[in-house]
Amino acid sequence: MAKKIRYRTNLSKAIETIIWLANEKPGIDIYHVAKVLYYADKMHLNRYARPILGDTYINMEFGQVPSAIRDLITESFPWLDPDYLEEVAKSLRAEGRRRELTALRRPNMDYFSQTDIECLCESLQKYGNLSFGDLVRLAHGEKSYIETELNQSIDYALMVDDDNPDRDDILRQMAETAPYVQV
């Protein structure tokens, strides 16, 4: 079996992405953040052969979860650099059981490419208002969910659509660059 394709997460960009989402959709909850980012990363992979965040997605009960994003929002893991946690605390408020987000500042847009914003906007528009149940059904229908064991990391190769005419080229490019790229 081929080695899983993984990227290194740029935590500063991850923080700015969460802030961007909280500004674009005040009150967005952690579950919607996870799904909007999963589908934005998937769109970007299929169009441009790289993810937006490069977070490690974990296959969990209700679908794909970007682990660093989850850790930053919940502030529940002590191995995160305290500077990142402090930046989140200064920039976002997460309240309630569903961790609904309020941005305390505007995002630093220097972290994003035009294509990053294109896919984030498209994903937010398409998935940001769906119900929890609809998102779970969509997530459970994804190849990445079906072919990954529960609580295991998802291979980015599973996020490239089988019917993408550039699939082989995208997979080759991802395999060559992923070990060296922090998006």
pLDDT of residue 12: 93
Q: Which residue has the tokens 């080695």?
A: 3
- Per-residue pLDDT tens digits for 141-158: 999 999 999 999 999 999
pLDDT at 8 over 90: no
Tell me if residue 98 falls in helix, strand or coil.
coil
Please tell me the predicted confidence (pLDDT) of residue 183.
64
Sign of the dihedral through C-alpha 155, 158, 160, 165: positive
Residue type, 166: D
What's this model's pTM, rounded to 2 decimal places?
Answer: 0.93
Confidence of residue 84 (pLDDT cuts 50, 70, 90): confident
| Mean of pLDDT values over 124-131 | 97
Alpha helix (H) ranges present in 25-163?
30-48, 67-74, 82-91, 114-127, 132-140, 143-146
d(CA 17, CA 25): 12
What separation, in Å, do the N-terminal and C-terminal C-alpha atoms of the chain show? 26
pLDDT recorded at residue 120: 98
